[in-house]
Amino acid sequence: MNDKKVSLVLSGGGARGMAHLGVIRELWRRGYSIHAVAGCSIGAIVGAMLAMGKLEEFIAFMETDDGDAIFKQLDFTFSTNGFIKGQKLIERFQCFAPDCNMEDLSVKLVIVASDLRTGEQVVFRSGSVYRAMRASVAIPAVITAVEDSGHWLVDGGIINPLPLDCVARIAGDLLIAVNLYAAPLIPEAGKSISIVSGGVHDDPTFWEQIKEGWQNMTGWKENLMESLFESNNGKYDFFSTLRIMSEISSKRLAEQSLLLYPVDILVEIPIASCGIFSFGKIKELIRLGEQKAESALVRWQLNKQKDKQRSLLLNQIAKFWPFFKKK
């Protein structure tokens, strides 16, 4: 086994995906080489930036204005399938990471989307990086779907939030997965789940900017938007309840994927770490990813050493067993 060659799988999970950045940094720090990456939703964005060699530029952009840079790229629209186009953000990414074809990248990139028409997953291995990325991040009813030959492509996490079955592998590599749908879903009373404060509830800054943009277009919908996007202040309102339902479903799908496709190393980021739109906590989330990756890698190394010692012991027993039998 080539213990330093890695096939990396990055799950969806909104702002928790900033922990992906910390995991990758920790892998690099320890001398691992990532030769292939697969992801969906936020995992597709981070995976694409990694494959294009633009991860540090992406981090610098995301840290702009204390993590609020992404909110300044929200382009609202009148549409029956979403109220954010997402094109402005893609264009901003292209300023520091120009588009290219996936098949031309040195790191094998796979991006997963979902087809609303057929209910099947769509796996991108070639063609425009940004077209695949844009399809995979299309949160249904929020970010508009991508139309492709009569098919409507949306967030890959709906069907396969942890696409272990799609990543490119080579003989002897390590399969490492970063699952942003780990338990617990909500922080237990009086207990700190991570270094990220605030728990599963979102940064109110996001909702304030969403409401402002939408209300500028559709003032007559003010009452509806108040009920949908009001800061929950630690309580489960209409929107956060629907979101938790979605998180539970994704958590279960990720668990099923891990049962079907066992990994060598699993890095788990709890759902309770932060809200799905808490991009303002990027520095804390990167640090969380580094810590969780370090723990997982140390645990794997210890288990590897134990297995080696056990194997040596069994070999010694087998070597001297005939002598003991004669005695």
Per annotation, catalytic residue among 7, 11, 41, 250: 41
Collapsed DSSP state (helix, strand, coil) of residue 119: coil
DSSP string, 196-251: -TTTTSPPHHHHHHHHHHHHHH-GGGHHHHHHHHS--TTS--HHHHHHHHHHHHHH
Tell me whether residue 192 is one of the annotated catalytic residues. no
Query: What is the 3 state secondary structure string of 54-91?
Result: CHHHHHHHHCHHHHCHHHHHCCECCCCCCCECCHHHHH
194 part of the active site: no
Joined tokens for residue 298: 């140390």
Question: For 264, which DSSP code?
Answer: S
The DSSP bridge partners found for residue 180 are none
Q: Which residues 6+ apart lie within 8 Å of 29 measured at CB?
A: none
Q: Which residues are 155's β-sheet partners?
A: 113
Query: Does residue 184 have a cis peptide bond before it, meaning omega lies within 30 degrees of 0?
Result: yes
State the Cα–Cα distance between residues 91 and 116, nearest whole angstrom. Answer: 25
Choose the catalytic residue: 115, 155, 202, 203: 155
The catalytic residues are 41, 155
